Amino acid sequence: KAGVTQTPRYLIKTRGQQVTLSCSPISGHRSVSWYQQTPGQGLQFLFEYFSETQRNKGNFPGRFSGRQFSNSRSEMNVSTLELGDSALYLCASSLGPSTGELFFGEGSRLTVL
Amino acid sequence: DQQVKQNSPSLSVQEGRISILNCDYTNSMFDYFLWYKKYPAEGPTFLISISSIKDKNEDGRFTVFLNKSAKHLSLHIVPSQPGDSAVYFCAASGGDNDMRFGAGTRLTVKP
């Protein structure tokens, strides 16, 4: 079956702009989590969605937001982009919330100029 | 707050020898631990896991050890192969906590 799909894979934005990233989970998976990966910081948890509800949120400013649709697809949005937002944004899906193994997509690499 | 810590950013070993990657955690609610492997330009992939009711789990060349009292786990790779060269992330979850990851350890296996 198809894996986790993230779009776009690469994008370049300028400071002050906003960006929306999309994630389609594995079929049947209802939980989607988002992580930010930067060099030396590992994977920083952004938020987790299950059944269209945000279950957990990491320690990120309100400029970072997300949502999940009824088909389990998820989007995350970053407004008023800053240079420090340049990172690889990874989406992961799982059968249920905070359970078991996460399956990751290949990520969306965002560069903010 | 870094609830999962991997204090070694990098590790280099010779092909055929043992690789030992370490991880510490602070949250006593964590009861499920995983290791992920990541190649460049790819998402992390699941490698091996262990629940808190066990102290060892083995899968082929990979073994994970858990020391709950020390809040420490380690991943042993024996024998190491050049294809094992990647970044390894330790992760933990439990209670109502989301899955937390360490900063990763870059393993280089030299031929």
Q: Is the confidence at residue B75, as pLDDT, over 70?
A: yes
pLDDT of residue A99: 63
In 3D space, the residue among B74, B66, B70, B76 whose CA is nearest the CA of residue B31 turns out to be B66
Q: Give the pLDDT band (50/70/90) at residue B57.
A: very high
Which of chain A's residues have a Cβ under 8 Å away from the Cβ of B102?
A: 42
Closest-approach residue (CA) in chain B for A46: B98
Select the highest-mean-pLDDT range: A99-108, B2-11, B71-80: B71-80
Q: Is the confidence at residue B97, as pLDDT, over 80?
A: no
Interface test mutation site (partner A, options B27, B42, B99, max chain A beta carbons within 10 A)? B99
Calpha distance B70→B72 (Å, rounded): 5
Instruction: Return the SS3 of B111.
Output: coil
CB of B104 within 8 Å of a chain A CB? The answer is yes
Of B99 and B96, which is predicted with more confidence?
Answer: B99
Number of A/B CB contacts below 8 angstroms equals 57
Q: Give the pLDDT band (50/70/90) at residue B99.
A: confident
Interface test mutation site (partner A, options B98, B101, B106, max chain A beta carbons within 10 A)? B98
CB of B93 within 8 Å of a chain A CB? The answer is yes
Residue A83 has φ and ψ, to the nearest 5°, of -55, -35
Contact call for residues B82 and B39 (beta carbons, < 8 A): no
3-state secondary structure chain A: CCCCEEECCEEEECCCCCEEEEEECCCCCCEEEEEEEECCCEEEEEEEEECCEEEEECCCCCCEEEEECCCCCEEEEECCCCHHHCEEEEEEEECCCCCCCCEECCCEEEEEC
Q: Give the pLDDT band (50/70/90) at residue B80.
A: very high
Q: Is the confidence at residue B42, as pLDDT, over 90?
A: no
Q: Is the confidence at residue B96, as pLDDT, over 90?
A: no
Mean pLDDT by 10 residues, chain A (113 residues): 90 97 95 90 89 90 96 96 96 81 93 96
Question: Do B97 and A100 make contact, defined as CB atoms within 8 angstroms?
Answer: no
Provide the token pair at B61.
Answer: 């060349």
Closest-approach residue (CA) in chain B for A50: B98
B43 DSSP 8-state letter: -
Closest-approach residue (CA) in chain A for B101: A43
Calpha distance A28→A9 (Å, rounded): 23
Question: Do A48 and B43 make contact, defined as CB atoms within 8 angstroms?
Answer: no
B68 DSSP 8-state letter: T
pLDDT of residue B40: 86
CB-closest option in A42, A55, A106 to B43: A106
Q: CA A76, A81, A85, A86 torsion: positive or negative?
A: positive
CB-closest option in B89, B93, B102 to A98: B93
Which of chain B's residues have a Cβ under 8 Å away from the Cβ of A100?
A: 32, 49
Provide the token pair at A20.
Answer: 């929306």
Question: Do B96 and A59 make contact, defined as CB atoms within 8 angstroms?
Answer: no
pLDDT of residue A41: 74
Hey, how many other C-beta atoms are within 10 angstroms of the C-beta on B79?
Answer: 14
